[in-house]
Structure 1
Amino acid sequence: MFKSVTLITATSLALMNSYSVKAENDTTVRVGGFYANSDSNIDVNDPLLGNNFSLDFEQDLKLSDSRFLPFFEFVYQFDDRHNFYADWKQLHRSANTQSVEKPFQFTWDETTYNVNYGISLDTTLNIDIARIGYGYDVWQGDKYEVGFSIGLHVMFIETAFKGNIGICEDNIEAQCPDSVTIPKIVDDKVTAPLPDLGVYGSYQINSKLTFSGHAQYFYVKLDNLKGALFDVRLGIEAAITDNWHMSAAFNYYEVDVEYTSTIKNSDMKIADYNMYYSFTGPMLSVSYQF
């Protein structure tokens, strides 16, 4: 966790303040939270029929679909048009399913596991997303600015299951009759830095209020990993004093990660890991500019 926070602090500079009408040089630190309505699922195998289906983390595994989550941003603006920024979002949830209603099968590290009907299952889904980048204001006026950004994303995804889970030997269609209590199965994937491109803008309504927004996107395919992210935010920033500001925004955020697993030294595919996550909701924050 400390490593994530350190990277994120190094990854947390920009966005909202880089979208406000600015002085020639300034630094902004912003902290806040957002109330997210979440939708997440993972592709797994049906142990009886052998086909894939989408397991819903909220409906099937009882993870909370609404939650208040923190975020942190840092921005350094210089020479009127240039911005360096970093940001971090933490999306952590866990839950206990007293009785699994949809049995499923998944494969991690060349081992296939079977979650049977009726067992009690603890599920954890943790997503940390850090980003660092550079923005340039292409068009500026007395009350507006529009710019483009380029950056790098690092995404940490931890999915953990704990319960009375069966282990299959070599056959993905095996029913895994021998179940043992698994203390914790964790799939922890860290992507290499991923490129993202974005556009941002702001309009100064009056001396106290500024309307701002941004849209960012990235897509990457590395070996067996494929991922995409889409981020859109629109909001209003109010100046409380010369240094303190408050912001209210609406954010749509979507992450889609696909991982294809194959048996070592073979082209035979044994499982696909497809994790989809999105949230939509309001964001509130306080920032200090110096």
Structure 2
Amino acid sequence: MLKRCLLFTLLAGIAGSSHASETSISFGGFYSHSDSTMNVTNPSLGNDFELDFESDLELAEKQFLPFFELEHQFAENHHFYVDWKQLHRNAETQALSKPFQVQIDDTVYDVKAGGQLTTTLNIDIARIGYGYDFIQGNNYTVGVSVGIHAMFIKTGFEGTIGACNITDVVGNICAVQEIPSIIDESVTAPLPDIGIYGSYHISPRWQLSAHAQYFKIKLDDVEGSLIDVRAGAEAEIAKNWFMSAAFNYYKVDVDIEQTGDSTGIADYNVAYSFIGPMLSISYKF
């Protein structure tokens, strides 16, 4: 719902502008190499350790993932933009090698070793903002951007799982009640980000471009950050149609700090990063 509201807000601003000069709609994908972890507790030994989504839970390290971008330029050096990235993965582990506990809100979940476990890790990021070209030359542009981001995170485990209230944990042992799954969904409120971008036209049909963006989130007991750096080239392949190839570094780090009685249960953390190529097709009008 929030993603739709962000998009509708941008389109309404475009429709109401009397200085519209160009709109660009882009669809594409990026080939990611992921490293994702979560801090958990060993229920037998009571010590905290880092559970790896790729090696321990068999999530794919490499995957092709989609993105969408819309940009509207008006009054020569002003821009509105909106984009969305989908970082979705899931996997099935036939025999979990490491038992672990996680705490979400006031409930402790106990995931047993040896059983089948289905894991989901979904991260969606929606962004809307404004850019201003403060330097313009005959064939180059440099600008700054300000905007807001919203992050949608879903982490799920389905299998042989026990659960108990945090007050029932004694010596890291939980009197478990069997449940089919854990689903933890977090939505961050829109929070500000800043960035810088630039482009250089090699010829009327070719240009080089780059951007760097950063944002940090803080909502109740959730804190995290994102870094987005991209550099690439764009070529006109037909009238109004363009193809882009770029190299992108993207890093998301989200921490959920536990409150109240800690009882030795580790804080919940998801780290997701990738570095790799991106390809997209754009239509400009």
Match of 1:19 in 2: none
Q: Give the TM-score taking structure 2 as reference length.
A: 0.90
Q: For residues 230 and 10 of structure 1, do their structure 2 counterparts lie closer, same or farther at Cα, with a shift above 3 Å needed?
A: farther
**C-alpha displacement of 1:280:** 1.3
Is structure 2 residue 169 aligned with structure 1 residue 171?
Answer: yes
Q: Give the TM-score taking structure 1 as reference length.
A: 0.89
Matches within 5 A, 1:40-119: 40-119=36-115
Letter of the aligned partner of 1:222 in structure 2? L
Letter of the aligned partner of 1:109 in structure 2? D
**C-alpha displacement of 1:101:** 1.2
Matches within 5 A, 1:204-219: 204-219=201-216
Matches within 5 A, 1:145-156: 145-156=141-152
Contiguous gaps of at least 5 residues in structure 2 = 12-18
Matches within 5 A, 1:6-21: 6-7=4-5, 9-10=7-8
Is structure 2 residue 236 aligned with structure 1 residue 239?
Answer: yes
Match of 2:16 in 1: none
Q: For residues 10 and 60 of structure 1, do their structure 2 counterparts lie closer, same or farther at Cα, with a shift above 3 Å needed?
A: farther
Is structure 2 residue 249 aligned with structure 1 residue 252?
Answer: yes
In 2, Cα distance between equivalents of 1:65 and 1:12? 34
Count of residues in correspondence between the two structures: 276
**C-alpha displacement of 1:276:** 0.5
Q: For residues 61 and 11 of structure 1, do their structure 2 counterparts lie closer, same or farther at Cα, with a shift above 3 Å needed?
A: farther
Deviating above 6 A after TM superposition, structure 1's stretches of 4 or more consecutive aligned residues are 266-269
Q: For residues 12 and 159 of structure 1, do their structure 2 counterparts lie closer, same or farther at Cα, with a shift above 3 Å needed?
A: farther
Match of 2:184 in 1: 187
RMSD over equivalenced CA pairs, Å? 2.2
Q: The residue matched to 2:34 in structure 1 has which SS?
A: strand
Q: The residue matched to 1:61 in structure 2 has which SS?
A: coil
Match of 1:123 in 2: 119
Aligned-residue sequence identity (percent) comes to: 55
Match of 1:137 in 2: 133
**C-alpha displacement of 1:177:** 5.9
Q: The residue matched to 2:72 in structure 1 has which SS?
A: strand
User: Which of the numbers 119, 143, 155 marks the counterpart of 1:159?
Assistant: 155
Contiguous gaps of at least 5 residues in structure 1 = 14-22
Cα deviations across residues 236-286 of structure 1 (Å, max 9, x unaligned)? Answer: 0001234110000111110011111223xx688854111111111111110
